[in-house]
């Protein structure tokens, strides 16, 4: 009888451990980058709103955005801020 109960406890511990790892991976690879990108869009827009409108303003905003991504540990290639 102890053997069956021990197996159930081990299975429960394994299941919770697996769920914890899955949640950690989801946070690190999905949630965190999404939040960083949102924050970087706000950062780029606030830093370029004082620049008088001119033709290179989207490029300047894009540079702020890419810099913010790089400072937060994300690769900035192929990302662009739409104005």
pLDDT of residue 79: 52
pLDDT of residue 59: 83
Q: What is the pLDDT of residues 19-77, one digit of tens each?
A: 999 999 999 999 999 999 999 989 988 888 877 777 677 888 889 999 999 999 998 86
**31-34 long-range Cβ contacts below 8 angstroms, 24+ apart:** 33/74
pLDDT of residue 1: 58
pLDDT of residue 83: 44
pLDDT of residue 73: 93
Q: How far apart are CA 81 and CA 63, in angstroms?
A: 9
pLDDT of residue 57: 77
Q: How far apart are CA 12 and CA 81, in angstroms?
A: 46
How many other C-beta atoms lie within 10 A of the C-beta of residue 79? Answer: 14
Q: What is the pLDDT of residues 7-17, one digit of tens each?
A: 999 999 999 99
Backbone angles phi, psi at 53, to 5 degrees: -55, 125
Phi-psi region of 78 (alpha: psi -120 to 50; beta: other; left: phi over 0): left
Q: How far apart are CA 24 and CA 50, in angstroms?
A: 39
């Amino acid at each position: 009888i102890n053997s069956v109960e021990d197996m159930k406890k081990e299975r429960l511990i394994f299941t919770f451990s697996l769920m914890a790892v899955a949640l950690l991976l989801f946070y690190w690879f999905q949630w965190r980058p999404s939040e960083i990108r949102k924050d970087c869009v706000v950062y780029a827009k606030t830093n370029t709103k004082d620049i008088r409108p001119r033709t290179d303003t989207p490029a300047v905003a894009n540079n702020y955005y890419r810099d913010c991504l790089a400072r937060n540990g994300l690769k900035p290639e192929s990302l662009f801020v739409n104005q």
